Amino acid sequence: MNTESPLVITKSQCPLCSKELITSWVQQNIPFFGEVMLITSLCECGFRYSDNLILSQREPAGYELKIRTRDDLNARVVRSTSGTIRIPELGIEIEPGPASESFISNIEGILERVVMILDMVTRWDEKEKIEKALELLSIIERIKAGEYEITVIIEDPMGNSAIISENALRRELTDDEAARLKTGMVVFEKDDIT
């Protein structure tokens, strides 16, 4: 059940046209994400910005799922702005950055995101990178057909990401493991603020 707080509206200046930018803020409690601030900014010039900020923090956690069959591609993935996704067999690591967005998808959706990036790489002028991208695209087609096994790992130092499947393995991350992960945001530790 989603619980929603009252809508808050703020006004500022549009970064494109300098006219009035209207921003709406609403806090919700969303399953698997916890407390989230939904932000949407709109300007009459067409500028639009939206983001979801996760306000809660849990214990650092990691999830791992072996993808062996086509049915495994349906496993739900909840990735917060601080989640890192790895597919070791393909050498793929998706780390959060400053513009990182949270999303809910499935394993096949994660692979489609990778395909979009690899398709861009195939248009570059660097032969070696094009060959590697084409090789990975071929492997992804085999994964989708259930002919190639991979492991999908998601780790989150804030504990807000997950793989939702009865076959997924969950474990708490050590302090060292969590400290090595990127968060995609500026995080202040209470002891760092003076």
CATH number, domain with residue 12:
2.20.25.420
- Looking at the fold, whether 73 and 127 belong to one and the same domain comes out as yes
Q: What is the pLDDT of residue 190?
A: 44
- Looking at the fold, whether 41 and 133 belong to one and the same domain comes out as no
CATH number, domain with residue 126:
2.60.120.1040
Confidence of residue 132 (pLDDT cuts 50, 70, 90): very high
- Looking at the fold, whether 83 and 178 belong to one and the same domain comes out as yes
Tens-place pLDDT, residues 71-116: 999 999 988 888 899 999 999 999 887 767 778 899 999 999 999 9
Domain that holds residue 30: 3-54
Q: How many structural domains does the chain have?
A: 2
What CA–CA distance (Å, rounded) separates 142 from 42? 42
The model carries a pTM of 0.73
